Structure 1
């Protein structure tokens, strides 16, 4: 003899607690992206910008194209 199983007709609602992001969860990655982009576009501001001159020329050319 088997026992009847009871299933819930609707999934349990958590009230949306885990579905909303706090404001800083979007603001911090956006700030980090803008900061890194600014360093890439203006490598002269970086203190350790003694890399390959071809890379520096390429980044400068990209900066000039974006400034138009």
Structure 2
């Protein structure tokens, strides 16, 4: 006895996928990138904002490494 085979009614269409991202899927990573970039470029603002000398020191080190 042989098993029946199932065939696809329509072949898969190659090309564009029709999915859309919500607005925050692009906005939140962009906001995080801009915030971190601002901390690297202006570490004096980071000193006042954090109050944590370890974090300010880390930002200074990253900025020094990137400016080489």
Q: Same fold (TM over 0.5)?
A: yes
Where does residue 36 of structure 2 map in the other structure? 36
* Displaced runs of 4 or more, over 4 A: none
Gaps of 5+ in 2: 13-17
Cα RMSD for the two superposed structures = 3.1
1:26 is the counterpart of 2:22: no
The alpha carbon displacement at 1:57 in A equals 7.3
How many residues are aligned here?
54
TM-score (norm 2): 0.58
TM-score (norm 1): 0.58
More helix by share: 2
Gaps of 5+ in 1: 63-68
Instruction: For 1:52-63, list aligned pairs within 5 A.
Output: 55=61, 58=64, 62=67
